[in-house]
A and B are shown apart, each in its own frame.
Chain A
Amino acid sequence: MYEADLRATAGRNMAGRVGAGANTRLPELYRTMRRIRTFEERVGELFVRGQSAGSMLHLSIGEESAAAGVCANLRDGDSFTTHHRGHGIFLARGADPARMMAEIGGKEAGYCHGKGGSMHIADMGLGHLGANAIVGGGIPAVVGAGLSARHHKTGAVSVAFFGDGATGQGILYESMNMAALWHLPCVFVCINNQYGMGTNIAQATANPNLHERAAAFGLAAETVDGLDVEAVAEAAERLVEGARAGKPAFLAVSCYRFYGHARKDKSPYRDPVEEEAGRRQDPVAFARAALIDRGLESESELDRLDTEIGAEMDATIDFTVAQTEPPLASMFRDVYAPEEPEPEPVRARIDRVLARD
């Protein structure tokens, strides 16, 4: 199926959008994608330098258009959840990359004080209801957020981002059914990077036309080619605004996971020819070429921007390395609300048992 996608996009004429006008969002979309790409590259460096907390780092290189294109249509007050490959989405919603990197390094200065890490990053201030290490685990929360938005009449939309692998989870279908049944302002975004670990989507389902499932539940449902971030943004605009008006939606973004599942996976299960073709489906390079082609930016302007972003992201590593580990006693904090007593440490309990004469 992806082969067909590749052929279709290879034959497409990028010049088709010349004249889309001065109000194009492409420069901003490019900038967002470039920041994601560079951030993810630095996450890889953090790992190599032995500064990351663990090796469960899932990079979103190759799928930046999903984050950039969808988030370009979200507003203050909207909320979202992500899967374990969610750095890019969070960045696209305005995260501070230094605090993100510090969290990935397990440092006190990170978004979750080193408790969450790469797979559990969150920021309620930006509407990020949480990244998740349980495949599908974050999906139903957007149904609840949709109920809240309806109840409080906020006009907010809630978006669940997840991978193609999560389409194997029953909870996705339970959630979409509820959203459709109750006309909730929810959007389900499936980032179809063709793989769940070593399993190609074609090995995980007999019908890889994922949007058809959502349509069957009564959602507005589309598949879009993630090579073209403008196409993603346009589809997302339609679907997000539809959801705001009470028509929940599903969007599958077709893309390719450029590297391994996690930092240490070299994808031995993938055909190198396929990999090479997949990596040519590069949304960042595609957008860059389009900007130059259409005369929206010059190559040197883009080089300058890329360098600037490189420096910004380099600084996140320096920041992280300089930060302190969370204090040991902080492990008891935030199990319950701050006004509640903290759990009693095992050591304190042992002390009491042993304190006899």
Chain B
Amino acid sequence: MALQELTYRDALRKALADAMTENPDVVILGEEVGRYGGAYGVTKDLIKEFGAERVIDTPISEPAIVGAAVGAAMTGLRPVAELMYVDFIGMTMDQLANQAAKIRYMFGGQIGVPMVLRTQGGTGRSAGAQHSQSLEAYVMHTPGLRLAMPATVADAYHLLRMALTKPDPVVFIEHKALYTMKESVDLDAEPLTWGKAAVRREGRDLVIVTYSRQLHYCLEAARTMSAQGIEATVIDLRTLNPLDFDTIRAHVERTGRAMVVSEGVMTAGVAAELSARITEECFDFLEDPVVRVTGEDIPISVSTVLETGSVPGPQLIADTALRMLAGRVPA
């Protein structure tokens, strides 16, 4: 009921703490999650509250962290494994894609793997090629894995709480540039519906479909566009699996134009999937081709100039949308 000022980081921490209080089987395991409090401070002091048997500091052994979470989930725990950077997901891909994602199916539905893999990705800290990637496409490309990517403080809380009730493995990717973002939130408010996108802004001229940090860039771009008479709808997907295509479809049919914005690389990325699907399913309603505004098809540099230059920002988003609509909409 009460509004509180929280950061994205606080909201995540509170989601973990509340889930741990409610369910004694929730355990956290990962590197530096306990005494250190998490590389980005998300699990700060949880070890004091819940003890070292539930907030488990591990050696630097990513495949075993994820694999142990799989086994724990199969035998009655509710594990939250943490990967310090999504860039390390490749090391764990066997446990994630061959084990966690397929166990229910291979074993004929006998058992699921109700685990959450929390991690963070994206650019913004000059962290270089191996600590700045947006690898959600790896996850979205793997049937059996759910995928949540919160963009707001309230979603950070609610999506994580919900992820911890889901029957199947959920990969939960935070954005490293959002941890200090503050919002006034009412966490007792009606929780969101899992798998339902949020329409963050409504406008008649085009739909921008996005998620995670790019939401904020899209909203900023939408304000710029609005000043020039172009009104955009901005959809925040919240979860990429399940994907709320109904919401996308409804707004594309209404506006006739769609742009997809993602920080990940363009080729075979999340934006490619969304664009293909909009084109296939909304073809008759589209006035223009779907445009993808994404990260470049290159690794991320440590140089800040190259780093920021290689991912979308508000200006590229607004420019692209304005060009898309130039002369087509009465201003």
Contacts and interface: CB of A to CB of B under 8 A. Distances in A.
Interface string A314-344: 0000000000011010111001000000011
B61 to A, nearest CB: 4
Contacts of A165: 59-60
Contacts of A117: 126, 128, 302-303
Contacts of A106: 126, 301-305
A134 B130 CA distance: 7
B310 interface: yes
B266 A349 contact: yes
B128 A134 contact: no
Contacts of B294: 346
B202 interface: no
B299 A56 contact: no
B125 A56 contact: yes
Kindly name the residue among B125, B294, B305 whose own CB sees the greatest number of chain A CB atoms within 10 A: B305
Interface string A150-192: 0000000000000001111110000000000000000000000
Majority-rule SS of A interface residues: loop
Contacts of A22: none
A135 B60 contact: yes
Contacts of B293: 346, 350
Nearest to B36: A198
Contact of B60 (A118, A169, A325, A326): A169
Interface string B69-98: 000000000000000000110010000000
Nearest to B65: A168
A205 interface: yes
Q: Report, as a range, how many residues of chain A touch the other chain.
A: 35 or more
Interface string A189-219: 0000000111100011100000000000000
Contacts of A135: 60
Contact of A199 (B36, B291, B301, B310): B36
B54 interface: no
B244 interface: no
A124 interface: no
B128 A350 contact: no
A168 B130 contact: no
A349 B267 CA distance: 11
B106 interface: no
A110 B17 CA distance: 45
Nearest to B91: A134
Contact of B61 (A56, A170, A347): A170
B303 A115 contact: yes
A92 interface: no
A116 interface: yes
A133 interface: yes
A337 to B, nearest CB: 14
Contacts of B289: 353
B291 A53 contact: no
Contacts of B231: none
Interface string A126-160: 00000011111100000000000000000000000
The 3 A-B residue pairs with the shortest CB-CB distance, nearest first, are A54-B126, A117-B302, A168-B59
Given A133-B130, A331-B310, A346-B296, 18 more contacts: A53-B302, A56-B126, A56-B128, A114-B301, A114-B306, A116-B129, A117-B302, A120-B129, A134-B88, A165-B59, A166-B60, A168-B60, A197-B32, A199-B57, A326-B303, A326-B306, A335-B299, A350-B292
